[in-house]
Chains A and B, each alone.
Chain A
Amino acid sequence: MHLVAAAAAATTTGSLGNVGYGLAAIGAGIGIGLVVSKTIESIARQPELASRLQVTMWIGIAFTEALALIALATPFIFGA
């Protein structure tokens, strides 16, 4: 089995960084999904608070997506 894996590793070309970024984006994706879904739930419960909740939602999204965007920047900073 490990021979097959080794053969696959030897023939696969490309950057592992791409896979890394894909993994990093999962976290931010789930995070933004949670932020937005909770905001929608809250607006459905209390529509009169919608404008204030939306502002908080944008702040939350900004913090969450920053992680994925930092991941996008890391190869330029730490890469070869």
Chain B
Amino acid sequence: MPAGGFEPPSIDEFYPEAVLFAGTPFEMNRIMLIRILVITLLVGLLWAWSNTFAKSYKNKQYVPSRFQLMGEISVGFVRKSIAHDQLGEKDGDRFLPLLTTIFFMVLGMNITGIIPSLNIAGTSTIGLPLVLALGAYVTFIYAGIKKHGVKFFKTALLPSGVPSVFLPLVFLIELLSTFILRPVTLALRLTMNMVAGHLLLVLCFSATQFFFFEGQGFLKVMGAGTFTFGFVFTLFEILVAFLQAYVFTLLTTVYIQLALADDH
């Protein structure tokens, strides 16, 4: 922090300088390293969970350990209250691997936004949300084509029961909303939530720093206010991190469900 004057956070927050391999196409900055760290931890955690599940199933150990219970609750949440609720047991289990991947990846990447010394969400630049959204996009189109064949595009773009005069208009709207806006909004919603959250936190804490160390008199009291705000927003960011993971997974499920649904 340079002495003198308050510097509000800018969008440059999300373009930190390169740390590794600078100048090559594999240039890595802080956010990339955080992503690699999160992926490593997630793979390790899910691996350990699935090992525990398999072992307790083989040994007929019906009382789960604390670690196993945590896993059962988290994986079971995606399975029961997202997949089975929306898709039913059969289709829910078919798409469960993708949904679980999306949920844990988004949650893990989001939560780094509030972990001290990491302090930026892995999802706060567009790359990762775009990959996840493309995964969801490809999956719901695949689900539709597998179930209905080419008729999937007909039911999606030209719904029955619409007067033929409006068909061109409905076709354009459906094309835009189903095949263009769905993946775009999935990616943008996640990214922009994380961007806005990070900027708010940076604003609160850099203002606190400014008020405490450079402010005079009454401004020092203001610092206590901004610090409290920053603390409350940190708690709020935990909620947002979980909520965005839930919403991303839920919307993917709903899109798959809409693709599987029969034409009415």
Contacts and interface: CB of A to CB of B under 8 A. Distances in A.
A72 B126 CA distance: 14
Residues of B in contact with A, size category: 10 to 19
Contacts of B243: 58
A58 B189 contact: no
A65 B189 contact: yes
A76 B188 CA distance: 12
Contacts, number: 38
Interface in B177-206: 185, 188-189, 191-193, 195-196
Nearest to A68: B192
A52 B84 CA distance: 12
Interface in A62-79: 62-63, 65-66, 69-70, 72-73, 76
Contacts of A61: 247
A58 B254 CA distance: 12
Nearest to B187: A73
A1 B243 CA distance: 50
B258 to A, nearest CB: 11
Residues of A in contact with B, size category: 10 to 19
Interface string A40-69: 000000000001100100110111011001
A16 B238 CA distance: 32
A57 B109 CA distance: 24
Contacts of A63: 185
Nearest to A62: B247
B96 interface: no
Given A55-B250, A58-B250, A62-B251, A69 B11 contact: no
A76 B250 contact: no
A58 B246 contact: yes
Contact of A69 (B81, B192, B250): B192
Contacts of B191: 73
A11 B196 CA distance: 29
A58 B192 contact: no
B85 interface: yes
Contacts of B195: 72
A29 B42 CA distance: 35
Interface of B: 11, 81, 85-86, 185, 188-189, 191-193, 195-196, 243, 246-247, 250-251, 254
6 contacts: A52-B85, A58-B246, A58-B250, A62-B251, A69-B189, A73-B191
